[in-house]
Chains A and B, each alone.
Chain A
Amino acid sequence: EVQLIQSGAEVKKPGESLRISCQASGYTFTNYWIAWVRQMPGKGLEWMGIIFPGDSKTKYSPSFQGQVTISADTSLTTAYLQWSSVKASDTAIYYCARHPGNYKLWSGFFDFWGQGTLVAVSS
């Protein structure tokens, strides 16, 4: 059974660093892309970026380039999303989602999703 299990909710102050995780199981981690998607309170979905754990190739949305870092640890079958300095505007639910590796990025889809990690940033 494919599962993406995300780390728990985080409460941070502006300026703090943060890393959230997405542990994959039930499939070959290195054969699929893992994306991160943001959902701000009461708003829609926004694609942040994606990583192919097999070779660590990473692509970011222009809106999030330089704002976050996506990485993966194949030994732990875990993908990460990190901030060096969070802002109040980073308050949102963050989802990880799997993208089939046998599809080109532009023709694929997100077939399994994590349960989401709530990040709250407030002074």
Chain B
Amino acid sequence: QSVLTQPPSASGTPGQRVTISCSGSSSNIGSNAVTWYQQFPGTAPKLLIFSNNQRPSGVPDRFSGSKSGTSASLAISGLQSGDEADYYCAAWDVSLNAWVFGGGTKLTAL
């Protein structure tokens, strides 16, 4: 059972806008910034969003992040087949004194 809660799967048709939610508590998302990682099968995770809504250099602006209270969201606009991957949210938990991750969301382009 992950500390941060994500839906196990999400899907959309090419070109569509898809959102992935991440729910936490006052000790993690409510207190600290959220990061998002993208992981393709058999490869290492890649930083997608940091500080709630910042994109590292090289990440397309089709990817955006937001946070409100104890929840966060990752939005992918103009969905492409190449976006099919697992997506993880993460935040520092002040009660556990540790980084915590969501269980991951498998994104499928229909």
Q: For the complex, what is the distance from the CA of A44 to the CA of B35, rounded to whole Å? A: 15
What is the CA–CA distance of A37 and B43 in the complex, to the nearest angstrom? Answer: 14
A113 at the interface (CB under 8 A from B): yes
Complex partner residue of B97 from A35, A59, A110, CB under 8 angstroms: A59
Return the contact of B32 from the options A46, A59, A107, A111 (Cβ within 8 A): A107
Most chain A CB atoms below 10 A, which of B31, B90, B94 = B90
State which size class the interface on A falls in.
20 to 34
Instruction: Indicate with 1 or 0, residue by residue over A98-111, a CB within 8 angstroms of chain B CB atoms.
Output: 00000001111111
Contact count band on B: 20 to 34
Quick one: given A61-B96, A62-B96, are A44 and B101 in contact (CB under 8 Å)? yes
Chain B interface residues (CB < 8 Å from chain A): 2, 31-33, 35, 37, 39, 43-47, 50-51, 56, 88, 90, 92, 94, 96-104
B33 A45 Cβ-Cβ under 8 A: no
Number of CB contacts from chain A to chain B under 8 A = 67
B35 touches A109 (CB 8 A): yes
- CB of A110 within 8 A of CB of B98, answer no
Residues on B with C-beta less than 8 A from A109 are: 33, 35, 47, 50-51, 90
Q: From A107, A111, A116, give the contact of B33 (CB < 8 A).
A: A107
Closest 5 CB pairs of A and B: A106-B92, A47-B99, A109-B50, A113-B44, A61-B98
